[in-house]
Amino acid sequence: AGRIKQEEYANNVEDAIAFLKGGSVKAVRQMQEQMQELSENLQFEEAAKLRDRIRAIKNLEEKQKVVSINVPEEDVFALVNSNKKACFEVIRFEHGKLTDTEFWLIDSVDDLAQSRFELIERYYSMRERIPSRIAVDGEIADEELLKSFLESK
């Protein structure tokens, strides 16, 4: 990969922070203003980079609309198992939009239902926030015990 100038890197970081703090609308507005200024200064290559970033953000928004749900908060859990490894993934939605994904690679598991129970219990024991809805891709061992654990938090 090629190197970029320190100033360009700093601008990229600023854009990312603006996006995370103010959401895409504010970030896009700022980038459009920067793009206009760059065009007026005949810096067309830099303006084109901003144009491409704006398109990427808008494409991301469109994808989020597709996965948008009508639940204020939801965590979705999936456990995929193979011969040697398993992958446990959590997909988080807030305000109907995908906000985060996390995954862990673990050794292959024999009992998927028991593993789901243990992984979900461990996941929420380290967190203060429990969403209003939790979806799981399969059966959970001791589902009632897990429900009572989650309700007690």
The full DSSP string for 9-28 is: HHHHHHHHHHHHHHHHHHHH
Residues 144 and 55: their CA atoms lie apart, in Å, by 46
Mean pLDDT confidence for 10-34:
70
**Per-residue pLDDT at 118:** 95
Residues 149 and 153: their CA atoms lie apart, in Å, by 7
Confidence of residue 1 (pLDDT cuts 50, 70, 90): low
| Burial class of residue 117 in the structure, from the number of CB atoms within 10 Å of its CB (0-12 exposed, 13-18 middle, 19+ buried) | buried
**Helical segments of 68-142, H only:** 112-125
